[in-house]
Amino acid sequence: MYQPSSRKEADMRLDSQVLDLETAVKDGILGGNCGVISTGFGLKNLDLKLMAEELESIDVPTVFICPISLEPMRDPVTLCTGQTYERSNIVKWFSLGHYTCPTTMQELWDDSVTPNKTLQQLIYSWFSQKYLAMKKRSEDVQGRVKEVLENLKKVKGQARVQALKELRQVVQAHGTALKTVVENGGIAFILSLLGPFTTHAVGSEVIGILVNLNLDLNSKSDLLQPAKISLIVDILNEGSTETKINCTRLIGMLMEGNDFASQNVASLSLLVGLLRLVKDKKHQTGVLSGLVLLKTVCSNESVRNSFVNVGAVPQLVELMPGLNTECLELVLCILELLSSIPEGRLALKDCPNTIPNVVKLLMKASENCTQLALSILWSICKFAPEECASLAVDAGLAAKLLLVIQSGYDPVLKQRSAELLKLCSLNYTDNIFISKCKLTRTIE
């Protein structure tokens, strides 16, 4: 049978029975950040599985991970090859008829397993320390949240702004703070701070907190009151970029699952504020957040006419160059929604860059972008065929449509391309159409 060399035995010592606590810390196998390892196990009442689940977001030392399941070990056992596994995993491996070491694939000369008690204690000690440290931080956060909430009830003016700022920072940094706010009646109190006399400084901080909370139906209904929505929209128009994004996200949260919210929330002021946000390409997070909300708002047919009236179409058309695929799809989706009404089609037709910008996107960004672009082009070319079809042809539409037809795209998409190509060719003879579209090279 195969016997491992002394060199390989040395390489495997971290996983074998020779592992002891002092050597583990000294050699740095725990990453050098584990602190002092306690050998006293008065914490046996803590369940290792529970601790591992609650600490799943932290980096666990690789020596604690079972090579089979890639999960932390609770009952590590070592094979004759020096490799260590979770007992249940290696037993299952043997039950499947394997008589090799899963990691090295060496044939086993001894099928017995040795409990690695030292490693088990080291794992338990490490998780216990991390778990108790997490609980201590959680308790500190809970105490601080309670203290800030009590302070908020007493202070006004700039002191209230500072207290809200601190609460916002704690809520953003610690997930446990959210639960404490809820359990101590913090949501109702924070909502009460939004009113007709609320300053934008206070309102901005309140919104920054609310956007991080899971609001129930009552809280959303409270925020959907006209006075509070009006305040949020005002802050959206006048706040910092971070505040604008928070306002946008909060309004989006209020509209989730509420089919009637669009009519209550949508206003010219909101639409103008969102357009300003998405036009600021320096802040991509703001562009994305604004477009997501605009798409949601425009899903309500009654809002589309107002959106067209504030000059949204040319602004969105000019916005397209330079956007990433995700934002492009949102812009095209909004424009497609607007093209469903006569006012929207007219605005798209009258914007000189609509056809050139949309034609460029065919076969360029994604299949979804191509589908949306085709839908927009079909709407405006059918709306004003004599004017728009010739412009589309001059912009190179025909060659792009032939590429779509020859592609592996969805058959429905190909059919729409063929219909649009036929629509564009109606005003030309075959020879003139081929010549004007410069299709010779494409056909070759």
Domains along the chain? 6-133 (3.30.40.10)
Lowest model confidence (mean pLDDT) among 214-218, 298-302, 331-335, 439-443: 439-443
pLDDT tens column, 138-189: 556 677 788 888 888 888 889 889 989 988 888 887 777 778 888 788 888 8
Confirm if 405 and 414 have CB atoms less than 8 A apart.
Answer: yes
First-to-last alpha carbon distance for the chain, in angstroms, is 68
Does the pTM surpass 0.85? The reply is no
* CA separation for the pair 33, 427 (Å, rounded): 75
pLDDT tens column, 181-236: 887 888 888 999 998 889 999 999 999 999 988 888 899 989 988 889 999 999 99
pLDDT tens column, 253-284: 988 876 666 666 778 889 999 999 998 888 88
In the block, tokens 């809820």 appear at: 182
